[in-house]
Amino acid sequence: MRYTEFTPYDIVLLLQGLSVTLGLFVASTLIGGALGLGLAVVRYYRVPLLRQLVHGLAELLKNSPVLVQLFLVFFGLPVLMKINLTPSQAALITLSGNTAAFVYVIAVSAIEAIAREQIEAARVFGLTRWTILRRVIGPQALAFAIGPLTGLLVNQLQVTSLISVIGVIDLTKVGNILNLRTLKPFVVWAVVGALYYLTAKAVAHAGSRLERRLRAHTDWKGV
């Protein structure tokens, strides 16, 4: 018997799918953000050879399709390294690596946007490179980067919809299940799209508020 009508439990399914999507999004954002910042610091310290390796890896990840990366991790990595990966683990690895590559590019651009005179002045006062990075470069770079980072996060939230192809029961996968059961694609995908839209708007709003606060602290107020 085919249940072609929607039921109250469908709301629970959608919320469960949304929670999986948001969980992987938040986890991959934290891991990818930390990795991307770490790679940017490596570039800042100009570590020989490692700098070129980091840049090459970032270029590879940000210029190749996420779906291909997902297939390589889910199907290729277990064969190559003789390990077992669940769909969620493969999704987390892929999304974290892809996020790290873009965070690295944004962080490097933000660091390079800071006037060299400030860094030279800090060196004259005897500050170490780590202190300069933490006290001079870091706060200003964050103010420069928060806009692009917000755009990146909104995009990465949409990218999470790809993980359904390897069996992760995320929001898109739940939408596909409901679509096959009810045969009402317009209603199902309109609701799924609305949930993605509202979540993305919340991320964009939070990023915009943070950017305004950072700009308020870094803008020159005069004397």
pLDDT greater than 50 at residue 26: yes
Going from N- to C-terminal start, the domains of the chain cover 8-218
Mean pLDDT of 29-47: 86
Q: How far apart are CA 145 and CA 84, in angstroms?
A: 37
Q: What percent of the chain has pLDDT over 70?
A: 91
pLDDT in tens, 195-221: 999 999 999 999 888 878 776 655 544
CATH H superfamily, domain 8-218: MetI-like (1.10.3720.10)
Give me the count of residues in the chain: 223
Confidence at residue 121, expressed as pLDDT on a 0 to 100 scale: 74
pLDDT greater than 50 at residue 118: yes
Closest by alpha carbon to 150, among 201, 110, 101, 111?
Answer: 201
Rounded to a whole number of angstroms, the distance between the first and last alpha carbons of the chain is 77
Mean pLDDT of 84-93: 94
* DSSP alpha helix (H) spans, the chain: 8-44, 50-62, 66-71, 77-81, 87-112, 116-124, 129-131, 138-159, 171-182, 185-218
By the 8 A CB rule, do 136 and 119 touch?
Answer: yes
Confidence at residue 142, expressed as pLDDT on a 0 to 100 scale: 76
Q: How far apart are CA 51 and CA 6, in angstroms?
A: 54
pLDDT greater than 50 at residue 72: yes
Confidence at residue 152, expressed as pLDDT on a 0 to 100 scale: 94
Task: Output 42 or 176, whichever has higher pLDDT.
Answer: 176
Please work out, in degrees rounded to the nearest 5, the angle formed at the alpha carbon of residue 128 by the alpha carbons of 124 and 131.
110
pLDDT greater than 70 at residue 115: no
Q: How far apart are CA 106 and CA 98, in angstroms?
A: 13
Confidence at residue 3, expressed as pLDDT on a 0 to 100 scale: 58
pLDDT confidence tier of residue 100, bands split at 50, 70 and 90: very high
By the 8 A CB rule, do 36 and 186 touch?
Answer: no
In the chain, the largest separation of any two C-alpha atoms, in whole Å, equals 79
pLDDT greater than 50 at residue 1: no
| C-alpha 223: how far from chain center | 39
Mean pLDDT across the chain, nearest whole number? Answer: 86
pLDDT confidence tier of residue 36, bands split at 50, 70 and 90: very high
pLDDT confidence tier of residue 127, bands split at 50, 70 and 90: confident
Closest by alpha carbon to 152, among 84, 214, 200?
Answer: 200
pLDDT confidence tier of residue 223, bands split at 50, 70 and 90: very low
pLDDT in tens, 180-198: 888 888 999 999 999 999 9
Q: Which amino acid is at 110?
A: A
